[in-house]
Amino acid sequence: MAGNTFGTIFCVSTFGESHGEAVGCIIDGCPAGLLLSVNDICVELDRRKPGGGGASTTRQEADKPEILSGVFEGKTLGTPITIVVRNQNQRSGDYSEIKNLYRPGHADWPWDVKSGFRDYRGGGRSSARETAGRVAAGAVAKVFLKTFGIRIHAWTQAVAGIEAPEWGDASFDFDEIEKNSLRVPHKETAENIMIKVDEARKQGDSLGGILSCRVEGLPPGLGMPVFAKLDALLAGAILSIGACKGIEFGAGFDAGKMSGSRNNDAILPGAGSSRWEMPENVPDASFQKNDAGGVLGGISTGAPLEFRAAFKPIPSISMPQNTINKQGDVRIIEVKGRHDVCVCPRAVPVVEAMTALVLADLVLLSRGDRV
Amino acid sequence: MAGNTFGTIFCVSTFGESHGEAVGCIIDGCPAGLLLSVNDICVELDRRKPGGGGASTTRQEADKPEILSGVFEGKTLGTPITIVVRNQNQRSGDYSEIKNLYRPGHADWPWDVKSGFRDYRGGGRSSARETAGRVAAGAVAKVFLKTFGIRIHAWTQAVAGIEAPEWGDASFDFDEIEKNSLRVPHKETAENIMIKVDEARKQGDSLGGILSCRVEGLPPGLGMPVFAKLDALLAGAILSIGACKGIEFGAGFDAGKMSGSRNNDAILPGAGSSRWEMPENVPDASFQKNDAGGVLGGISTGAPLEFRAAFKPIPSISMPQNTINKQGDVRIIEVKGRHDVCVCPRAVPVVEAMTALVLADLVLLSRGDRV
Amino acid sequence: MAGNTFGTIFCVSTFGESHGEAVGCIIDGCPAGLLLSVNDICVELDRRKPGGGGASTTRQEADKPEILSGVFEGKTLGTPITIVVRNQNQRSGDYSEIKNLYRPGHADWPWDVKSGFRDYRGGGRSSARETAGRVAAGAVAKVFLKTFGIRIHAWTQAVAGIEAPEWGDASFDFDEIEKNSLRVPHKETAENIMIKVDEARKQGDSLGGILSCRVEGLPPGLGMPVFAKLDALLAGAILSIGACKGIEFGAGFDAGKMSGSRNNDAILPGAGSSRWEMPENVPDASFQKNDAGGVLGGISTGAPLEFRAAFKPIPSISMPQNTINKQGDVRIIEVKGRHDVCVCPRAVPVVEAMTALVLADLVLLSRGDRV
Amino acid sequence: MAGNTFGTIFCVSTFGESHGEAVGCIIDGCPAGLLLSVNDICVELDRRKPGGGGASTTRQEADKPEILSGVFEGKTLGTPITIVVRNQNQRSGDYSEIKNLYRPGHADWPWDVKSGFRDYRGGGRSSARETAGRVAAGAVAKVFLKTFGIRIHAWTQAVAGIEAPEWGDASFDFDEIEKNSLRVPHKETAENIMIKVDEARKQGDSLGGILSCRVEGLPPGLGMPVFAKLDALLAGAILSIGACKGIEFGAGFDAGKMSGSRNNDAILPGAGSSRWEMPENVPDASFQKNDAGGVLGGISTGAPLEFRAAFKPIPSISMPQNTINKQGDVRIIEVKGRHDVCVCPRAVPVVEAMTALVLADLVLLSRGDRV
């Protein structure tokens, strides 16, 4: 397993440093015959773009993907799909002063230890810019999953401890998510969080948060026990996003406080509405509640897949911090530049993309489940 | 990627159903020349064995591993190491009545959907019994890691909401961990939890909990961005354990409530005590605190690796639950048999084993980091 | 990729040294619901067993496979299938004298350089004994392929330059193959070769040969360009057999002497008899001849797959040879023991097994070819 | 394993159709700190370019590679190296008439069966154009291998049955290889072959041939038994080249005619000149001759690695051939366009590139051989 390659059949490699020529991806294993246009990718890359005055960086990014291979006459060929996004407007000068200083909370120093040197311009491969390749690949996975009726939605659940209503709460407002720059599913919560965000920006500080993700239309039976369980693959996928520090499925950490009689989801007869072929002699089922988060023993249950992921505050802050330089001397660093205050809204399409990559691979792997 | 195979260079496949002939593993890629005895494996399997009256099942398991290949004259050959543990004392009769009922909280129904049928005896491949193969493989990985001074320790941090002191607290008692049957690092907390455990057992119920894991002696530079980050691989590894529902590194979900100035770990000059070769021109470093949990940008920092994992209550409870049978009819199920009340103490060696597998692989992969 | 693991979905790991406890395999990825008995495996292992006085070793091997996991009530579970074959009757004393001498033509010295030491008893992991695990796994693959009507047959085409008639020749006698101990498809050729074999045995020498393999019932469309082409995977699979030194498909090396007008196989309308689902709008086709050997651009054509593989003489000969000892001193070695004269007849089931592993994997991978 | 990805640590994905936007590769796993310039890649791509009047196509290809990522300040970063080569001057009109006809000897029909449709313009992904990505990746592998003194050379050994002297023959002329357009190591043989080539061109026919490859400076100990043997990996790599139909190592198919006493290479004390670290207590060795072709038991011996590969005649010929159209009707096809007569000279850098990819991966994998 090479570190920049993900998946078994629907196999994605991403590439690119933040201030190199380009970022992008190759998708090796997308089935032939899928209708795909460059616009499908633009839509997702645009969602990753910084908003207009919200929690995100004010840098202008015009991400125009180019499909170099794998699509012919509007359909995938079954050959590798290569998508390239050129880097623009990097203003490398912003970063020249940190060439010799290790930024706290960043991978600068571990990367130097690992590789002997690094691309110091804006984080290089460790920059959030890297996720553009993931989002482009995830866009293709989403198109594939849509043909099965599988829909993935993530949103900002909380920032700096201010929590939005949860899915299922009366005040949860799905349509609000893409309306506010924080991607919070509740207008007032979004406004309250924005006050915190503005304060942090003025202080040169940043804020952490929690994302929720929900997948509907997922058939039961996806996931490959024991190591490629659905939740195991998702955990690996989501934790591979730069600032992510934790994940929980369904009741998650709260399940650690529960009794079995409280946590187990009772089984009921199913609605029989599945679009997927069920094996003979196996009845359809449904669940009284969904503390499992849609996964049991690493296999999808047909209930909605639900998880939450914790994102740390963006480590690039302009407040003074202690660090060392390349010579090992003690120094004070103030990280300048146009940085996001909270990664959450821009992490939403990235979480969706990684989820899509896992699911597209499992949908294809599941074709080998039975004789 | 086949679902029962884990790792790239230090590559492990596990096998076995709970009531089949045997469980075990093949380790393909362990370097040659490692001193290894069957006792190294027994020690870890014994830690996985049910204790005498604690939170765990009272079934008698005498797990005697046999090494079938890969070791010659007390040293690894560099060829596949095969370890087999025969299943004994299964009392299959205990399980015959649930052949036609889907147990809530278990993988019974999703597995039937996936495969068309299943080994219904005690969970089959989804049984916790499966982890014996992981623990055997992890024992070999631990022996390998020990040659580099890398030490892995897990313990029960909380059960049913009752929390033990954290590492670093004055009352944290490392030596206590292996003394009580719950593997809690504090005697009084262990006693309080045991009261809860006894109550649950009487009611035929079960309890969830939280495990902590800490790795010391880990060199900086391990982890392969972007998808094979240290924390991403660990998240995938730990979430692949049956009852695990969440993981967090360092400050974890709390980082989602923090500001960057609070969360960032300031960098200090290092003690220069690393046993590993550092690249030229890169200074040694250390960190003022460790909210990062020992990993930045997916690469180890040299600070202790720290994570917590949430385990749901064991779903096998004898209290009545609603479910359906193979014909899809509504039924009441009471799961009989000798089941653990809380998975935590027996999950400790499993968490350590999976951590060891990830680290052994990354230690070997890191040999390709630099020209 | 670990060196002892083969395949992507139908993924096989083999293990075992010739004089260790056992040899065997894990098959991770065999679909659920396949009817499988231990007898299916015995049949193939018996074909690998030395015959009674032919070209093969006279050692008595009673290979009794045990299935440790993955099969329940006569059907595969979709979980790892583990097969163990105990080693018996090793007479280790035969090998003690070569502990300190490097045998020419064997991997003794390269293995010592690689690993620092080796299991010197009978070749250890490099022994032909290792192929028992492959044959066991291949037996399962064959059962899987048989459900699609795919049939694999190999035979001894030539030994020491004495060639048997080729498939399609009037004198080619398919039924003869399993009747003579050399597996030659022509009685008189077999007798002529046996004279040569007996001569070589008396001189303490050995003989090389050529195997042919033919697969019928293979559907068109198998193979994953560009690196996992059908012929590329087969070449890697067959060359991984210890004594194999070459492979050619269809016209093979003769194609290097041909013109395109001679080598190209003209395309004709197909018989429409394929058991496989063809994509809409693609006509059935057949080929006027089969110089391609059933593969074009790495994809199966539906014509019989045909290849030939060259096997060197078994390097264990009792004639004196120059070598060095572990101290680097010049020595004469005469390799004692009961060794085969020609590997070909016993390589037949191994070639079939490796072919089956490649095809089983490609059949499963092809399920992801189209949306 | 996705079909367009090759290798474990030094892991390469290639992409691109012949008449799409571009071809190229990602190298994921090249160690950090390697000096690399775009010129290193241009040199190899130029060798793949059609010559001036020789056996190759007269199309003008100006392949200008662009490095999009992974290189910073002239050194590899340890991150994915992405190389893109734009397609130019395609004259798509040449191919429009074969849109509905299946060309004999090409993958047109199998590809349609596999994927349901194909890029019919010039072979799409099955075109020899695809190898530009391999050559670019191989150029990087060559630079890496050169730092260890490993040198790879291939040449045209024979065309249409006319054979050049072999390495070691007095008349073998190494310097001649890159001087004639056929890459034949003997001036007169090259001239004789060119007469045949000109004849074939006039007739609208094509010619097959044999390539030889020789690697010097390879240390002993490379290769991962049992499935990732050096020769197994090379066989898979070389057979993945479009027109390749066979491979043999050392004595190859002739070994099938030999006795063991003739074929075994006697072992002698080594010269002790190895640049690689040998394990303690293992003596250096050399071999009296090299019928093994530099590999025993799948592990390199330190002797030169030697193999030969058979290439079929290019299937695109303008002579009339029988085929069918997309409706399944019988048709006559005459393939127009500027096609090479013999693939051999342009296959030389491709064979070298694939060999380099295998060796770079094994050099890195071997770092995990011993504790």
SS3 B199: helix
Residue in D100, D106, D109 to test binding to C, most C beta-carbons within 10 Å: D109
Whether the CB of A13 is below 8 Å from some CB of chain D: the reply is: yes
Q: Determine contact: D33 vs chain B, CB below 8 A.
A: yes
Q: What is the token pair recorded at C130?
A: 């290792």
Question: What's the mean per-residue pLDDT of chain D?
Answer: 93
Residue D264 banded pLDDT, cuts 50, 70, 90: very high
The pLDDT of residue B51: 59
| Predicted pLDDT of residue D53 | 41
Specify the pLDDT at position D1.
Answer: 58
B24 inside 8 A of chain C by CB: yes
Q: What is the mean pLDDT of chain A?
A: 93
pLDDT of residue B53: 41
Joined together, the tokens standing for residue C186 give 């022509």
Task: Report whether D51 contacts D108 (CB < 8 A).
Answer: no
Gap between the Cα atoms of A316 and A334, Å rounded = 9
Considering only CB atoms, which chain D residues are within 8 Å of B8?
A: 8-9
The predicted structure's pLDDT at residue B88: 84
Q: Is D90 left (phi over 0), alpha (psi -120 to 50) or beta?
A: alpha
Mean pLDDT, residues A321-343: 92
Per-residue pLDDT, averaged over C180-197, amounts to 97
Rounded to a whole number, what is the distance in angstroms from the first to the last CA of chain D?
28
What do you get for the CA distance between the two ends of chain B, in Å? 28
Residues of D in contact with A8 (CB under 8 A): 1-2
Identify the bridge partners of residue B28 per DSSP, sorted by sequence position. B11
Between helix B344-365 and helix B131-146 the angle, nearest 10°, is: 50
Residue C50 has pLDDT above 80, yes or no: no
- Write the DSSP symbol of residue A322: E
- DSSP, res A32: B
> C335: how many CB neighbours lie within 10 A of its CB?
27
Residue pair B77/B36 in contact by the 8 Å Cβ criterion? no
Query: Measured between beta carbons, which residues in chain C are less than 8 angstroms from residue D244?
Result: 231
CA dihedral C15, C18, C20, C24 (to 10 degrees): 30
CA-based nearest distance D147→chain B, Å: 9
Q: Which of B31, B76, B370 sits opposite D368 (nearest CB)?
A: B31
Contact C246 D245 (CB under 8 A): no
- Give me the mean pLDDT over the B7-22 stretch: 96
From chain A residues 52-91, the ones with a CB under 8 A of any chain D CB are: 66-70, 72, 75, 77-82, 84
Q: Do B236 and A238 touch (CB under 8 A)?
A: no
Give 3-state DSSP helix, strand, coil % of chain A, rounded to 5: 30, 25, 45
Q: Do A246 and B247 touch (CB under 8 A)?
A: yes
Q: Which of C160, C200, C263 sits opposite D208 (nearest CB)?
A: C263
Phi and psi at residue D62, to the nearest 5°: -115, 90
In which residue are the tokens 């012929």 written? C231
What confidence category does residue D271 fall into, taking pLDDT thresholds of 50, 70 and 90? Answer: confident
Beta bridge partners of B26: B13, B82
Say which of C32, C225, C370 has its CB closest to residue A371: C32
Q: Does B256 touch chain D (CB under 8 A)?
A: no
C5 vs A: CB within 8 A: no
Say how many C-beta atoms besides its own lie within 10 A of residue A352's C-beta: 26
B116 to chain C, any CB pair closer than 8 A? The answer is yes
Mean pLDDT of C41-61: 71
Tally DSSP H helices, then E strands, for chain A: 7, 18
Q: How far is the C-alpha of B232 from the C-alpha of B239, rounded, in Å?
A: 11
User: Mean pLDDT lowest for which of A17-31, A89-103, A225-239?
Assistant: A89-103
Is the separation of the CB atoms in C81 and C30 below 8 Å? yes
**Per-residue pLDDT for D31 more than 50?**
yes
Of B258, B263, B298, the CB nearest to A240: B298
Q: Could you tell me if A298 lies within 8 Å of chain C, comparing CB atoms?
A: no
Chain D residues with beta carbon closer than 8 angstroms to that of B371:
31-34, 76, 144, 147
Burial of D146 (0-12, 13-18, 19+ CB in 10 A): middle
Where is pLDDT greater, at A302 or A273?
A302
Alpha carbon C113 to its chain's center: 27
CB contact under 8 A, C365 and A9: yes
Q: What is the pLDDT of residues B235-261, one digit of tens each?
A: 999 999 999 999 999 999 999 999 999
- A299 with B244: CB under 8 angstroms? no
pLDDT digits (tens, 9 = 90+) for D91-105: 556 666 678 999 999
pLDDT exceeds 90 at position C97:
no
Q: Check D9 against B78: CB less than 8 A apart.
A: no
Residues in chain D with CB shorter than 8 Å from the CB of B370 are: 31-33, 78
Give Cα separations from D114 to A31, A362, C148, C282, C362 (angstroms): 10, 21, 17, 10, 12
The answer to which of B121-130, C155-164, D308-317, D323-332 has the lowest mean pLDDT is B121-130
With a pLDDT cut of 70, the percent of chain D lying above it is: 93
Of B273-282, C215-224, D237-246, give the lowest mean pLDDT range.
B273-282
Residues of D within 8 A of B76 (CB-CB) are 371
Q: Chain A closest CA to B265's CA: distance in Å? A: 6
CA–CA dist A64, A41 (Å, integer): 9
Report yes or no: D301 at the C interface, CB cutoff 8 Å.
Answer: yes
pLDDT tens digit sequence for A130-184: 999 999 999 999 999 999 999 999 999 999 999 999 999 999 999 999 999 999 9
What is the average pLDDT across D267-289? Answer: 86
Q: Token pair for residue C195? A: 């004279």
Q: Which residue has the higher pLDDT, D49 or D366?
A: D366
Are A15 and D116 inside 8 Å of each other by CB?
A: no
- Number of A/C CB contacts below 8 angstroms equals 50
Closest-CA residue of A relative to C144 is A371
Helical spans, DSSP H, in chain B: 38-48, 108-115, 131-146, 187-203, 230-239, 260-263, 344-365
d(CA B186, CA B159): 13
D364 sits in which H/E element: helix D344-365
User: Which among C5, C67, C116 has CB closest to B28?
Assistant: C5
CA-nearest residue to D82 within chain A is A15
Is the CB of C111 inside 8 Å of chain D's CB atoms? yes
**What is the average pLDDT value for chain C, to the nearest integer?**
93
Cα C123 to Cα C130: distance, rounded to the nearest angstrom:
10
Q: Smallest Cβ distance to B105: which of A158, A236, A260?
A: A260
- Interface check for B298 against chain A (CB to CB < 8 A): the answer is yes
Note whether B21 and C24 are within 8 A (CB).
no
- Indicate if the pLDDT at residue A57 is higher than 60: no
CA-based diameter of chain C, in Å?
Answer: 70
State how far the alpha carbon of B26 is from the alpha carbons of A38, A289, B36, C263, in Å. 45, 39, 15, 46
Contact D227 C283 (CB under 8 A): no
Q: Give dist(CA B334, CA A201) in Å, integer.
A: 56
Residues 6+ apart with CB under 8 A from D96: none
Give this complex's ipTM: 0.97
Higher pLDDT, D315 or B123: D315
Residues A280-292: tens digit of each pLDDT: 899 999 999 999 9
Contact assessment for residue D106 and residue C264, using Cβ atoms and an 8 Å cutoff: no
Residue D259 pLDDT class (50, 70, 90 cuts) = very high
pLDDT category, A53, cuts 50, 70, 90? very low
Residue D128, judged by CB atoms within 10 A of its CB (0-12, 13-18, 19+), counts as buried
Q: Per the CB < 8 Å rule, is C207 touching D259?
A: yes
B114 touches chain D (CB under 8 A): no
C367 near D CB under 8 A? no
Task: Using DSSP bridges, classify how beta strands A295-296 and A299-300 pair: parallel, antiparallel or unpaired.
Answer: antiparallel
Distance CA C83, CA C26 (A): 6
Choose, out of B312, B319, B333, B339, the residue to mutate when testing the contact with A (most A CBs < 10 Å): B312
Of C26, C38, C85, which to mutate for an interface test with B (greatest number of B Cβ within 10 Å)?
C26
- Using a CB-CB cut-off of 8 Å, the residues of chain D touching C316 are 260
Q: How far apart are CA B217 and CA B294, in angstroms?
A: 11
What per-residue confidence (pLDDT) applies to A98?
Answer: 79
CB-nearest partner of C32 from B8, B32, B116: B116
List chain B residues with CB under 8 Å of A218. none
Mutate to test the interface with C, among B10, B11, B17, B26 (most CBs of C within 10 A): B26
